Every structure is written in structure tokens, then in C-alpha cells.
Structure 1
Amino acid sequence: MDGEINKSMFIFKNVIGKGAFGYVWRVEKKPSRFPFAVKVMSKAKVFNMRSVDTVINEMKLLSQLKHPFIVNMNYAFQEKENLYLVSDFMVGGDLRYHLTLRQRRFSERQAQFIIACVILGLEYLHNNGILHRDVRPENILIDGKGYCKLADFGLARIWQPLNSSDTSGAPGYAAPEVLNRQNHGTEVDYFAVGIIAHELMLGKRPYPGNDRQTYKENVMKIQAELKKADTPESWNHEASDFINKCILRKPTSRLGLNGPNEVKSHVWFKDFDWQALLARKLNSPFIPSIKRKNFDRKNFILKPEEQESTLQIKMNQELLMQPSIQALFDGYKYDIDEEKRKELEREENEKKKRNKLK
């Protein structure tokens, strides 16, 4: 249908990210030129990596979620070869970029603000029964005012008591119970929060390891703990205590076991104005310069082993000609404008019903 959201409604400007299935573009929607970010995913790659459920799950979850501390979806649509997920454009880039390239360590005030933003995003998800399960600096995006939002819901799931088979999290941030394929809950997200806070404080993670096995061995070897001597002079030891309680290997002892209020009530956040943060009334102590492109172009260059051969391209084209393959992506569609129209219609109908009863 002509009125349905499609690729021609956007001006594709430049690549700002790379994912497992394709690239993320900065785009502008016609005719307003309002900026968005579009994740373009190759259907063939999604199918070949057995990730159809992952991308469908992400779209369905995001269609039910709206919050100032998550990166919200605005549109989703598809063509024969690709899926398109259109979300809020975050001009400040991701936290990983600023950790590694721009500013290896952060001040305590900056770190506290960043972590508080993440906690509010997690509070919303957890109160809706959702585990993010992939909290890491790459999935924390920063807007033009320095507010951080959680992104990438591909591994997010509605919590189920028997979920030991669900693998999640990246090396460096995954909780021990996930690494050991045990049932897990919201505590896995707070473990990752502790790891990130450690990284913001000291410029490194408490448990090294870039591959899953090495990381797991280091996590299981010894309980990491920050001593008073480890805390930078410009930081309060309450920050170290917060980190230590988040990165406890035993989930039943970990901060956050009893919900987000337990995390928000930690002494490190004593006198912190959570309501003002939620209302976006606080001035962020870390605001990335919007005059610079807050991403590293080197990350978007395909390595030789990532480039598809002529044979692979032909096989993918033949794959996507099969109706059964295309049917796997049925329903991959979302239009926030259409949802708003439906909501207005519902409100109007409810209003008419109330007037009839008077």
C-alpha cells in the first residue's frame, strides 16, 4: 500500500554503526527531515545465523515499550532482501566510543549520572517483566543533552522461571549464572551495571577476557572486589561498595535481587534526585560534542572474512526467492503514527460511549 512506511520515505545520510546482520544508518524522514537511526538487516544473514526469532522478538517487544530511558522504535518495515528498524537517533554515540577513544575514565559525578540513567531504563523493563540481558557500553546510547538510554533488545526476553537454556550477554558483562547455564532473573542486568561502573571508574573491567571461555574462567576463579585503596582519590568509597555489591557472583547476594528500588536506595545514590532525572530536569555532567561525529569509522569497514563471495550472494538471492523463507518475516511491521491514530480513535470511541451513558 502507498501509505505504508517504506524505504523511499527516508533520506539515507551516513553509516553510524555495524551489527551482525548489517549496518545502522543515520537517516532523515521526508518531508520534515527529522533524524532517525535505521538498523538495516539482511534477511539472508538473519536466516543463516538462525536469528529469525531474535529479530522478530526485538520488534514485537519494542512495539509494546515506550520510555525516556530506552531507545524507542518508531517504525519497522521490510523489503524482499532487508528488514528495517527505525529508532530514535542518538547524536552522542554509544558509551563504548567515549570509553575507548574519547575519555578512558570518567569523573564520579559523570559515572553516577550515566549509571542512574541505565538504572531507570532497567527499572522500566523489569517492572514490565523484561530482562535486557545484553547491558554493555555498546548498548548505552547518549543523546544531545547527555542523557543515556538502553538500546538493542535482540536478546531481551520476558522473564520465565525456567530459562537456563537462554544464552545471553557479551564476554566481560555476562553474569556467572548465565555463563553456567542456570536459571536467571533481573540480577543479570545489575551484574552488568556493576561491570560498567567499574569500567567508568578505572578504565577496565574487573574480569578480563575477550572470548567467552577466558572470561568465564576469570569470573569463576575469584570474586573481584574493590578495596578502599583501589578507589581513586576523587571518588567516594560508596561507589566502590556499589560496584562490589553489583558484581557479586552469587545472584541471591547481589544488589538488585529485591528490585530496582534496592539499587536506587544504595548509599552511593544518597540524596540523588531520581524524580528530577526521570523528568529530565538535571543537567548531565557529560555531554558529548555534537559538532563531532561520535563514532569510529574503522568499526564499519568489513574485514575480508566478513565480505560475501559472489557465490554467497547468489545463494542468498535464491534463498530469498522461496516464499517459505519470506513467510518467516510476516508481521515485521510497525508505524508509530498509525499507532497514535488508533489510540486517538479508541479515545474518541470511549468518549462517545461515556456521553451516551450520561
Structure 2
Amino acid sequence: MEGGCQNKSMFPHTVQDVRTTPTLKVLTSERINQYALIRRIPRNTGGTPHVDVSIYKDTTNDKDVLIKAVKRKQVEDKYRQLRRNFQAGNNLPNGEQSIRKEIDVLHRLRNCPHVIQLLETVDDPNNDRVFLVLEYMSGGEIQWRNEHDEPTLTIEQTRRIFRDATIGLQYLHHLNIIHRDIKPANLVWSFDHSIVKIIDFGISHHHEEDAVCTGSSTRFYEKKYSSPSLFTNAELTKQRGTGYFMAPEVAWTPPDTTMSSPSIDTLSATIHTDAFQIPAKRPEITKAIDVWALGVTLYCFLFGKFPFQITSDGNDNQHHTRYMLFREICTSDWMIPDTMSANNLPTGGRVAKTHSEVIHLLDCMLRKDPNTRIGIAGVKVSGHSLFSLSDLQLIPL
């Protein structure tokens, strides 16, 4: 391995060991151990029902932290347990398995200033929740469009966000971690908007057999959250993540799939001629799905809208809408408005010979075939005058 993921001199970044606390000494509506509640963060529409997120004050150092409280067992787990005859292997309920996966991933991410840091886990077996104490990024998530679906970020702001996200994603991929849900809502600002960090590793995946990093950041792997059976390749084929940002290989359905729905005539009438054919076999799910999602995110920042959208056809069935969106992602090309960013800079269009190099970068990131899609290292040295990362000190990979 060239360089190494333990080279702390590359960044002015203090790495602290994650504390593991096995006992809830204090638990009230206003306090968790030494953490005093500041405010609760409302769940978004469609948010995860078994997760509560709040901002607390660490009374030992007067610093604000974000605490994610995750239920060990979800309602679905109880029904599964009634049906299941447990066999040898990982018999964790699905909810607790998800917690362990997230903690396992977060413990690996100890040496990059563009990835959120886990500070402590509070895991009392006598309580039905596990508490993840994370650093708090008070600048909030990236706001990238207004009520008219127009971009609100300038080119310089987009460049800074994109650079930080690329460095963070490069670090994840170096550790063989696939985030699986890169999107604007999972990129957050520091208080002064000087740094962007990647957050939310709830569905992230780690290739245990490909581990490349040793040293202090891996000491936790001996503990109970780390297990080779936590991460399976079968898990990667599940359509997890946010629909608009899913890569074609994640959104894939067999090309001869039909919908057992009365709306099939409507569906046939609304699907336009396909620009791309759906492959007969699902392509392998790899780190390339994160590059695609980062490309969609970049498109959102530049144009204030998604590259793949569907228009209403009068059918509000959730499965129908999902199918239509996935079909759009897998078979349609994306278009480019005449201008980009809040600066209203000309783009040159989607296919014009004079289009800007940022369009070429999007072309490379939004290729349907993951085997020809640019890798994160290629994004880093794309050469575009605004988005080149060559002037940054990066993790030496």
C-alpha cells in the first residue's frame, strides 16, 4: 500500500479514541449521562421511525454534540422473530445488526477531517436503545436550491463543497467502505462554513476481507460490534438509499419486468423511447455507486434540480412512482440547462462541442455502466479548472 491511512500529518486533525460506555447512569427526558439536552431535531417526512436525533451539551467540556438514539429492535424484528427458526450464524435482530454495522464503520473513520467523527457509544444492555455520540456540525446541511428549483450555490461554494466531499469519499473508499447514500442532505457544514463533512453511515457497507488499514483505529474490531457476518455481499443488492441518487446498478430491475398493476397501460404510455438498454443481469454493486451519487449531487448543486425526474401521470401509487423513477435512471440520458450555479454561467449545453469541462466531469461520473464510470481518484484529478483537486494535500493513496 502506498502511503497509509494513519498519516495524521496530512491534515490538521486531532484523532481521539472512541469511548465505549456500558452503563446508563443517568437517563431522563433532559439528560443522558453527562449530556444535557439542548433541542431535539424533528424527523423529516419519511424519516427513520426507530431513530431519534438531538443536540446535547457535554457538561464535562461545554461542547455541543449530536446524539443519535437507535432502538435495538424494530417492529419488523418482532414479527421476524416469531417466524424465524434461528440457525448458526449471526442471529441479531435486524435493528441491532444495523446499529452494529454503523458503529463498526464509524470506528474505522478516525483520520479524515471530511468525515463525521464518532465520540462515544453508550450501550447499556438493560436499555432498549443504543446512543451514538457524534461531533455536531452546527452549520447544518447544504442548502442547494430555492422554492423555484433554482441553484443557490455559487461556483466557488460548489467547488469547496465538492472538494471536501471528494476527499471524504476517497478516504472511505480507501478503507473499502461504500457509503450508499451520498446526497446533499448527508453533507454538512461546520459553524463557519469552512469545512464540509460526510454524515449518516446507517446503511454503509464494509468489505471485511479487503481491510487495508491497521493500527490504533482498528483496535475496536476485537469488540462485540465487529463481526465478519455483519457485512454480506447479498446486502449490497438491496435497494437501499435515496431514490434520486441511486446508481443504475442499484435501481436495476430485470428488463422484462412487468407491473402487476391496473396502471400498466398508463405506464406504457408515459415511458419514452429508451436511450439506454437495461442489462439482462444486474451489474456488480461496487464503490462506483458512490461516485454516481456524488455526480448526481454535483448536478443538484449546479442546476438546482435532479438529473433524473419523472412527471406526474396521475398515478400516485408509490410502487408505480418508484418504478418510473428507476426506469428513468436506468434508461434515460440527462440534460443540461443553458446556465449553471447562482452565477448563471453558460454551460454550452449537453452535447455541444463547446460545453464546459464540468459537463465532461458529469459525463464521466454519470455513466450507466459502472465498469466505465470514473473512479474517485479520477474525479480528484479530473483536470477541470474549477474542480481540480490537485492543489490540495490529500490522503496519499
Q: State the TM-score bracket (shorter-chain normalisation).
A: 0.5 to 0.7
Partner Cα distance (1:225, 1:267) in 2: 22
Relative to 1, partners in 2 of residues 1:277 and 1:235: Cα closer, same or farther, differing over 3 Å?
farther
Structure 1 counterpart of 2:122, from 65, 77, 101:
77
Percent of residue pairs bearing the same amino acid type: 19
Q: Does 1:220 align with 2:330?
A: yes
Partner Cα distance (2:183, 2:287) in 1: 15
CA contact (8 A) 1:26 1:35 kept: yes
Tell me the equivalent position of 1:334.
none
Relative to 1, partners in 2 of residues 1:157 and 1:269: Cα closer, same or farther, differing over 3 Å?
farther
Partner Cα distance (1:204, 1:245) in 2: 19
Partner Cα distance (1:39, 1:45) in 2: 15
TM-superposed deviation, 1:267: 2.4
Relative to 1, partners in 2 of residues 1:128 and 1:17: Cα closer, same or farther, differing over 3 Å?
farther
TM-superposed deviation, 1:135: 0.5
Q: Does 1:167 align with 2:277?
A: no
Q: Does 1:150 align with 2:198?
A: yes
Partner Cα distance (2:390, 2:133) in 1: 29
Tell me the equivalent position of 1:247.
366
Partner Cα distance (1:84, 1:235) in 2: 48
Relative to 1, partners in 2 of residues 1:116 and 1:72: Cα closer, same or farther, differing over 3 Å?
same
TM-superposed deviation, 1:4: 5.4
TM-superposed deviation, 1:108: 1.3
CA contact (8 A) 1:223 1:248 kept: no
Partner Cα distance (2:242, 2:387) in 1: 33
CA contact (8 A) 2:162 2:298 kept: yes
Tell me the equivalent position of 1:127.
174
Tell me the equivalent position of 2:67.
38
Q: Deviations over 1:5-31 (max 9, x none)?
A: 642210011013535123211111122
Unaligned 5+ runs, structure 1: 280-358
Q: Deviations over 1:117-144 (max 9, x none)?
A: 1110110010111111110112111111
User: Larger helix proportion, structure 1 or 2?
Assistant: 1
Q: How many residues align?
A: 272
TM-score, length of structure 1 as denominator length = 0.68
Amino acid at match of 2:328: N
Partner Cα distance (1:138, 1:77) in 2: 26
Correspondence 1:180-329 to 2 at 5 A = 180=252, 181-209=282-310, 212-226=322-336, 229=338, 231=340, 233-234=344-345, 237-256=356-375, 260-269=376-385, 272=388, 276=392
Partner Cα distance (2:145, 2:364) in 1: 23
Tell me the equivalent position of 1:16.
41
Partner Cα distance (1:214, 1:188) in 2: 20
TM-superposed deviation, 1:91: 0.4
TM-superposed deviation, 1:85: 0.7
Q: Deviations over 1:267-287 (max 9, x none)?
A: 2256845564669xxxxxxxx
TM-superposed deviation, 1:246: 1.0
Amino acid at match of 2:304: G
Q: Deviations over 1:267-312 (max 9, x none)?
A: 2256845564669xxxxxxxxxxxxxxxxxxxxxxxxxxxxxxxxx
Tell me the equivalent position of 1:63.
107
Q: Which moved more, 1:78-87 or 1:38-47?
A: 38-47
Q: CA RMSD in A?
A: 2.9
TM-score, length of structure 2 as denominator length = 0.62
Unaligned 5+ runs, structure 2: 1-20, 25-31, 79-92, 210-231, 253-281, 311-317, 348-355
Tell me the equivalent position of 1:304.
none
Partner Cα distance (1:99, 1:72) in 2: 28
CA contact (8 A) 2:358 2:384 kept: yes
Provide the secondary structure at the position in 2 that maps to 1:63: helix
Amino acid at match of 2:367: L
Amino acid at match of 1:116: R
Amino acid at match of 1:178: V
Q: Does 1:111 align with 2:158?
A: yes
